[in-house]
Amino acid sequence: MEWEAVIGLEIHTQLATKSKIFSGASTAYGAEPNTQACAVDLGLPGVLPVLNEEAVRMAVLFGLAIEAEIAPYSIFARKNYFYPDLPKGYQISQFELPIVGLGHLDIDVDGVKKRIGVTRAHLEEDAGKSLHEDFHGLTGIDLNRAGTPLLEIVSEPDMRSAKEAVAYMRKLHELVRYLGICDGNMQEGSFRCDANVSVRPKGQQAFGTRAEIKNINSFKFVEKAINYEIERQIDLIESGGAVVQETRLYDAAKDQTRSMRSKEEANDYRYFPDPDLLPVVVDEAFKAQVKTTMPELPDAKKQRFKEQYGLDEESTAILTSSRPLADYFEIVVKESACEARICANWVTGDLLAALNRSGLEISDSPVSHERLAGLLARISDDTISGKIAKQVFEEMWQGTASADEIIEAKGLKQITDTGAIEAIIDKIIADNPGQVEQYRSGKDKVFGFFVGQVMKEMQGKANPGEVNKMLKDKLK
Amino acid sequence: MHNKSIAELARGLRSGEFSSVELTQAFLDRIKRHSSLNCYVTVTEDLALQEAKAADDRIAEGDATLLTGIPVAQKDIFCTQGVKTTCGSKMLDNFIAPYNATVVDKFNQAGAVMLGKLNMDEFAMGSSNETSYYGAVRNPWDLNAIPGGSSGGSAAAVAAGLTVCATGTDTGGSIRQPAAHCGITGLKPTYGRVSRYGMIAYASSLDQGGPMAHSAEDAAIMLQVMAGFDERDSTSVDLPVPDYRAGLNNPIEGLKIGLPKEFFGDGLNSDVAAVIESAVNEYRKLGAHIKEVSMPNLKLAIPAYYVIAPAECSANLSRFDGVRYGYRCANPVDLTDLYVRSRGEGFGKEVKRRILMGTYALSAGYYDAYYIKAQKVRRLISEDFKKALSEVDVIMGPVAPSTAFGIGEKIGNPIEMYLSDIYTIAINLAGLPAMSVPAGIVGGKPVGLQIIGNYFAEDRLLNIAHQYQQITDWHQQSPKGFE
């Protein structure tokens, strides 16, 4: 029988607010345990939550970006369960009336476009962390993360393969970083994924029983976990068994999922509206105001890069993969007055390679966009050749000097004086009669030899175009 | 000194007739002498004398408010930095908050002197003060009677002259009912008028702190300090706070008083009914017009309350889990054991009963039938009040169906206990302000008149109560032995 997988993702994005969703404590990652948890985060008696408006703004921005319905009136609810790292014994979340309603995200898998529905996105607070190591059989609780704002984005069960699921997740990851609402750091848990997976015979309308795979923290693991789970379910059904509704954990080391709890063991969360918080009212004015802060979104930017700069699919994809990189590129083009394709080659080539080697982000690049533009400007005005430029770039990467300073100090300025070039060419021709003979008898390849000799003689500083032209004339 | 009004005491302090230290010491002495009433969970003697000294300095500098140097006491539900806050529970017997409730901060800023923390029903769940981990409070009017609850320590302490005034909180009648039973004046403000920050939550959508004092004037002075928007409480309302004292002497001629016929039916003790009628008559003499109104959904208030309040409390009390603070059972073997025994041993019977009721009402499959239905009833009750208050200025009636009952009399019968709040609970569901004003004495025990007003009409309520207190002296009577 032919099987079809049905996949829906729930993605928790940690919103990049400075303070927590219901308190003034900092959300910065990595502090000493329990140093960033105030009375509200600790759930001390008598404390009350106050909603962080910035979290609402970010949720609305996300909703607008996926063309979703923004609820004019949404409410917070208490999700009740006991766990040591959940200080109040309930999590403040949204249940019946989430802030973001139905929207969509378009993905592209192997050139095929597909629209994935986003059911809803709701605001909630994160819990703390239980630390089971280092306490000799006891458990430590770190509440620094408690109260960190999350936007839980729930997709429709629209994906049919692990590949599609990963494409959706990547697209969402790119979007939230573009919007500046999430740093996307998966190691630190800023972007976490739960996957709902079921299988059904191809052509069947009804969904099969689904399993939920919890907390998968990389694109690679999402793909592997889903593929494993699809296989597991198909094998199970084909061998006469039945899938049970349950929560499963992905074990990356073993590359398999295992049961965590069954439906029967699931909590009854007893959701009810949180009486400590007022309904969130988002009016047209607020939406309009948020809309003015909407950056150019990835799809639109890709389209524009292709049209405006004449870039190919690959360069476009790389340059638009993050907003800072795209911005860097655009500034370089503008400031260098250099051809966009050359700028793109430099940014996606030498610059990214150097960044990767050093493990740096574009925002931490030792060569700022001003400095790179300064270098490329010298290419475009023929002061130096592309080859010399690579040498200058290496110098720039190591130090702080500008391209002009390096060119000046090292005497790398390109020689465009045709008299000087001509003298060298004449000398080379005179010194290599054999090669001249070969060329003239039709061996075109020997032309490269002459170019190389001239450039070598001139320490690479001759204008290659000029050298080519003059050599061709002289060798006729 | 212990029977003087706040205004009189403030005058005495300013004129140098006595100092705050002397005044405070006098109250501390009385607290010791009458400790058998069990009004206080904690007496902060040293702190009080320090604060009194500071108040005397402030008065000398000419920087005093009306409350500067005046001894007050806090219901033990308000968190006090550095001073134990128990909420009447074993669960918090060791809890010292690292912060003050907004209300406590405001009294501190006004220069009031805190005498201590007052006994109360455990987590404010009770109508008799008998559910307290620290034992029942005795009613100074009848030592075998309950003082009412949950602010029983507050009411008894004011009545017995063990503080000038006290804070209380009211979720279903917890300020008004004990005020009535102890013969003092109590005001439950409009929901949102007084910040709930630092006030340990029982039922968040119903809880409201308010003043408990001898007179409407004293209550006005207290409310002036307590009321106002607090950015730490999203449900507090950002409306200007009127000058409550300024309006006390406004004439009330032409006042339209509504008497809901449902307040005067079966279950109301006939002597209490007679007291209310005679109080209404006094208002007639002051030029008020009386009109019968109807609140057809009033009978649903108790069942609706006993779904909503327990539902909210079941979540509010989840934080008391033995993990971070409060009571923790000895030698837990695992996480479940830690939870089960800490909560099982730390909470009293009534608290457990309400957590269970609330958990049940919110459970899958029951939520619509209980919680949602109760919310609908709540709306209907609010509509009843809205309609009535469009016809009249205020609604009057009894606070409680009888005078204070005996200690031990109803504690074994929760339903009967719950019914003692029949006239107060609906007001919390509607979020309206209401007062309890001493209006008579039956069989040696006080009776309270309830006055219910429109949203944020605390100034009007205080004015109406004050006018009554100008022509009656029920609020000035002291129980025997406490004069």
CB contacts, 8 Å: B120 with chain A: none
Q: What is the pLDDT of residues B302-326, one digit of tens each?
A: 999 999 999 999 999 999 999 999 9
Using the Cβ of A51 and the Cβ atoms of chain B, whether some distance falls under 8 Å is answered with yes
Instruction: Give the model's pLDDT for residue B224.
Output: 98
Inspect the interface and report whether the beta carbons of B233 and A51 lie closer than 8 Å. no
Inspect the interface and report whether the beta carbons of A82 and B321 lie closer than 8 Å. yes
Instruction: Give the model's pLDDT for residue A73.
Output: 96
Instruction: Give the model's pLDDT for residue A433.
Output: 87
* Known catalytic membership, residue B174: yes
CB contacts, 8 Å: A272 with chain B: 311-312, 315, 362, 367, 371
Instruction: Give the model's pLDDT for residue A125.
Output: 98
DSSP E strand boundaries for B217-300: 256-260, 289-293
Q: Which of A136-140, B200-204, B371-375 has the lowest mean pLDDT?
A: A136-140
Q: What is the ipTM of this complex?
A: 0.96
In angstroms, what separates the C-alpha of B81 from chain A's closest C-alpha? 12
Could you tell me where the DSSP H helices lie in A43-178? 53-65, 162-178
Question: Hey, CA dihedral for A284, A287, A293, A295, is it positive or negative?
Answer: negative
Give the Cα separation of B290 and B293 in Å (integer): 10
Using the Cβ of B311 and the Cβ atoms of chain A, whether some distance falls under 8 Å is answered with yes
Using the Cβ of A47 and the Cβ atoms of chain B, whether some distance falls under 8 Å is answered with yes
In angstroms, what separates the C-alpha of A329 from chain B's closest C-alpha? 45
Residues belonging to chain A = 476
Using the Cβ of A147 and the Cβ atoms of chain B, whether some distance falls under 8 Å is answered with no
Inspect the interface and report whether the beta carbons of A43 and B204 lie closer than 8 Å. no
> The tokens 């501190």 sit on which residue?
B108
Using the Cβ of B96 and the Cβ atoms of chain A, whether some distance falls under 8 Å is answered with no
* Known catalytic membership, residue B342: no
What is the DSSP-derived secondary structure letter of residue B56? H
Using the Cβ of B87 and the Cβ atoms of chain A, whether some distance falls under 8 Å is answered with yes
Q: Residues 312-331, chain B: which have Cβ within 8 Å of A? A: 312, 314-315, 317-321, 323-325
Instruction: Give the model's pLDDT for residue A147.
Output: 97
Q: How many helices (H) and strands (E) does chain B have?
A: 16, 11
What is the rounded average pLDDT for all residues in chain B?
A: 97
Instruction: State the average pLDDT over residues B266-286.
Output: 96
> The tokens 């100092």 sit on which residue?
B19
CB contacts, 8 Å: B359 with chain A: 270
Instruction: State the average pLDDT over residues B399-414.
Output: 95
Give the Cα separation of A331 and A334 in Å (integer): 5
In angstroms, what separates the C-alpha of B182 from chain A's closest C-alpha? 27
Using a 10 angstrom Cβ sphere, with 0-12 exposed, 13-18 middle and 19 or more buried, the burial of residue A221 is: buried
CB contacts, 8 Å: A89 with chain B: 315, 317-319, 321
Give the Cα separation of B128 and B145 in Å (integer): 9
Number of domains forming the structure of chain B: 1
Which pairs count as long-range contacts for A393-401, CB under 8 Å and 24+ apart, including other chains? A393/A346, A393/A350, A393/A354, A393/A367, A396/A366, A396/A367, A396/A371, A396/A372, A397/A354, A397/A366, A397/A367
* Known catalytic membership, residue B150: yes
Q: Strand pairing of B71-75 and B113-118?
A: parallel
Q: Are A224 and A193 in contact (CB under 8 A)?
A: no
Residue B362 belongs to domain with CATH number: 3.90.1300.10
Mean pLDDT in consecutive groups of 10 residues from the start of chain A, 476 residues: 95 97 94 95 97 98 98 97 96 97 95 96 96 84 96 98 97 96 94 96 95 91 96 96 93 89 82 97 97 95 95 94 94 91 94 93 92 91 85 91 87 75 85 86 85 83 80 82
In angstroms, what separates the C-alpha of B323 from chain A's closest C-alpha? 7
- What's the pTM? 0.91
Using the Cβ of A132 and the Cβ atoms of chain B, whether some distance falls under 8 Å is answered with no
CB contacts, 8 Å: B205 with chain A: 275
Q: Could you tell me which chain A residue has the CA closest to the CA of B311?
A: A272
Q: What is the pLDDT of residues B349-370, one digit of tens each?
A: 999 999 999 999 999 999 999 9
What is the DSSP-derived secondary structure letter of residue B436? E
Q: Strand pairing of B394-398 and B256-260?
A: parallel
Q: What is the pLDDT of residues B432-476, one digit of tens each?
A: 999 999 999 999 999 999 999 999 999 999 999 999 999 999 999
What is the end-to-end Cα distance of chain A in Å, rounded?
Answer: 72
CB contacts, 8 Å: B314 with chain A: 80, 270
CB pairs under 8 A between A and B: 102
**Structure confidence at residue B38 as a pLDDT band (50, 70, 90):** very high
Three-state DSSP string of A1-59: CCEEEEEEEEEEEECCCCECCCCCCECCCCCCCCCCCCHHHHCCCCCCCCCCHHHHHHH
Which of B20, B150, B151, B314 is flagged as catalytic? B150
User: What contacts A252, CB < 8 A, 6 or more positions away?
Assistant: A221, A224
Inspect the interface and report whether the beta carbons of A45 and B319 lie closer than 8 Å. yes
**B436 phi and psi, to 5 degrees?**
-115, 125
Using the Cβ of B235 and the Cβ atoms of chain A, whether some distance falls under 8 Å is answered with yes
Inspect the interface and report whether the beta carbons of A45 and B92 lie closer than 8 Å. yes
Which of B19, B20, B174, B236 is flagged as catalytic? B174
Give the Cα separation of B394 and B291 in Å (integer): 10
- Which tokens sit at A182? 């999430």
Inspect the interface and report whether the beta carbons of A275 and B323 lie closer than 8 Å. no
Instruction: State the average pLDDT over residues B138-167.
Output: 98
Q: Please state the domain extents for chain A.
A: 3-289, 298-410, 418-475
Question: Which residue of A20, A23, A34, A44 is the best one to mutate when testing the B interface, meaning the one whose CB has the most B CBs within 10 A?
Answer: A44
Inspect the interface and report whether the beta carbons of B234 and A50 lie closer than 8 Å. yes
Q: Are B463 and B246 in contact (CB under 8 A)?
A: no
CB contacts, 8 Å: A78 with chain B: 315
**In this structure, which topology does domain A418-475 adopt according to CATH?**
Arc Repressor Mutant, subunit A (1.10.10)
Instruction: Give the model's pLDDT for residue A414.
Output: 73
Which of B19, B20, B75, B151 is flagged as catalytic? B75
User: What contacts B127, CB < 8 A, 6 or more positions away?
Assistant: B121, B148, B149, B150, B173, B174, B177, B417, B418, B420, B421
Inspect the interface and report whether the beta carbons of A141 and B323 lie closer than 8 Å. yes
Range of the domain at B278: 1-483
**B122 phi and psi, to 5 degrees?**
-55, 120
Instruction: State the average pLDDT over residues B122-148.
Output: 98
- Which tokens sit at A30? 């990595």
